[in-house]
């Protein structure tokens, strides 16, 4: 997908970075057999999703108008294609 802008936004990078930190914290506390620290790390992971969504709502994510367009040739080819076995 060369040239795609999928995920190359501040909202995506921030959300993923926070999730990596959360998984690192959870993993460290899991090895140390500390359940409270593990769940704190999982809370950080859950927080990363909310931060990413909040940043996207603030305009730091991919704009809706930049959604991947459907090419006319692809749309017409799939619309006229017959199901397998439907040939005379």
pLDDT(73) > 70: no
What contacts 24+ positions apart, CB below 8 Å, involve 46-52? 46/22, 47/18, 47/22, 48/15, 48/16, 48/17, 48/18, 48/19, 48/22, 49/15, 49/19, 51/14, 51/15, 51/18, 52/11, 52/12, 52/14, 52/15, 52/16, 52/18
Global pTM value: 0.65
In this prediction, residue 82 has a pLDDT band, given cuts at 50, 70 and 90, of low
Tell me the per-residue pLDDT of 4-46, one tens digit each, with 9 for 90 and over.
556 688 888 999 999 999 999 999 999 999 999 999 999 999 9
Output the pLDDT for position 32. 96
């Amino acid at each position: 997908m060369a040239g795609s802008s999928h995920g190359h936004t501040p909202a995506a990078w921030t959300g993923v970075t926070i999730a990596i930190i959360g998984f690192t914290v959870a993993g460290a506390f899991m090895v140390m057999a500390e359940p409270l620290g593990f769940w704190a790390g999982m809370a950080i992971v859950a927080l990363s999703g909310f931060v990413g969504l909040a940043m996207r709502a603030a305009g730091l994510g991919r704009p809706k108008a930049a959604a991947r367009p459907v090419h006319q040739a692809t749309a017409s080819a799939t619309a006229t294609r017959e199901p397998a076995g439907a040939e005379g």
